[in-house]
Amino acid sequence: MAEILQPDSNPSLPRPVTRPWLALLGLTLGVTVTNGFARFAYGLILPAMKTELDWTYAQAGWLNTANAIGYIIGAVLTLLLIGRIAPARLFGFGMVTTTLTLLATGYEATMGWQTFWRIAAGVMVTACLPGMPNMSGSPLRLT
């Protein structure tokens, strides 16, 4: 059940946004990286990777599965970390590491490294997600 809390009633709520354009930029980049590049755009280039790297359909499909495994691992890790690390820090860490893992997928074409980087990208993407509502200054809390 969701409830609306006032910032004065709970000191753990995010502070009001003082630079809304910076928050908007962060939220836009967050969605672009997490959903655009790391998740959906990858599926668009997978057929070309299959052709260029001479993969079977099973190998190409395995990389999508590896990415989903990364999402599951990342969701559990983020759930454990969110009470210990500020969501804004998780967001920043997730943005940087997701970008690095996506860049690393282009470095080595072997299936082992591609699997590793796709799992890593899935894990790192989930670190971005808790910070997004907090960047907007939203007082919405899921309880």
Q: Domain boundaries in the chain?
A: 33-136
List per-residue pLDDT tens for the chain, 143 residues long: 445 545 555 555 555 656 677 666 777 777 777 777 776 667 777 788 888 889 898 988 898 899 889 989 988 988 888 888 887 788 888 888 888 988 898 888 899 999 999 899 889 888 777 655 555 555 444 44
Q: Are 50 and 60 in contact (CB under 8 A)?
A: yes
How far out from the chain centre does Cα 135 lie? 15
Residue type, 69: I
Residues 6+ apart with CB under 8 A from 93: 124, 127
Q: Are strands 2-4 and 140-142 parallel, antiparallel or unpaired?
A: antiparallel
How far out from the chain centre does Cα 127 lie? 6
